[in-house]
């Protein structure tokens, strides 16, 4: 028991495998859930409807790299739950086929950076904006107190130590220092 009963948790990338596992884990702790998907909101809502904790969850969808859209959706989810106590920036993408740096499409690189870096930054910014000043001052990346921000990133070995993947998770580490 992590003493999180009735805490409200924002989870981005909630329609993927890790996001669903996070939702299950926080729901098991008695949390209320704000689940954020990319383009597959209907799929997320269908899955949530089958869960025993569905009455404690709200769902939203957003282009995670769009700062204004993220701010709006996180604000809506916050109002629906009566506040947010924690945020998990889990949204991420990785193309399934390997392409060498010499041949890679710049748009593909931009999308990975947008989702994996800005997809952590903009939800964190929107989350922090809704906290009282005292909670923002205590926001951290590693606690279960209100104001917690965490991100879920694979190690670089999971994707062949390719720079286009390992650079954006490294950037999210510096984001944890911002408040």
Residue-wise pLDDT tens digits, 76-111: 999 999 999 999 988 888 877 888 888 888 998 898
Determine which helix (DSSP H) or strand (DSSP E) holds 59, and give its type and residue range.
strand 57-61
**Model confidence over 8-64: pLDDT tens digits?**
999 999 998 999 999 999 999 999 999 999 888 999 999 999 999 999 999 999 999
Q: What is the length of the chain?
A: 179
Q: H or E segment at 32?
A: strand 32-37
Q: In sequence order, what are the residues at sequence separation of 6 or more whose Cβ sits closer than 8 angstroms to the Cβ of residue 14? A: 20, 22, 23, 33, 35, 36, 37, 44, 59, 90
What global pTM score does this model have? 0.78
The helix (run of H) or strand (run of E) holding residue 35 is strand 32-37
């Amino acid at each position: 028991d992590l003493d999180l009963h009735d805490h409200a948790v924002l989870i981005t990338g909630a329609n993927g495998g890790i996001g669903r596992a996070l939702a299950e884990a926080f729901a098991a702790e008695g949390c209320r859930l704000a689940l954020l998907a990319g383009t597959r909101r209907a799929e997320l809502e269908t899955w949530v409807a089958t869960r025993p904790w569905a009455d404690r969850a709200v769902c939203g969808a957003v282009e995670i790299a769009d700062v204004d859209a993220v701010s709006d959706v996180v604000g809506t989810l916050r109002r629906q739950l009566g506040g947010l106590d924690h945020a998990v920036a889990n949204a991420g993408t990785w193309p399934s086929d390997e392409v060498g740096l010499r041949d890679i499409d710049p748009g593909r690189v931009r999308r990975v950076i947008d989702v994996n870096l800005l997809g952590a930054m903009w939800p964190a910014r929107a989350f922090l904006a809704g906290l009282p000043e005292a909670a923002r001052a205590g926001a951290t990346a590693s606690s279960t107190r209100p104001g917690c921000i965490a991100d879920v990133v694979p190690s670089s070995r999971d994707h062949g130590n390719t720079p286009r993947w390992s650079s954006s998770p490294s950037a999210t580490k510096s984001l944890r220092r911002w408040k």
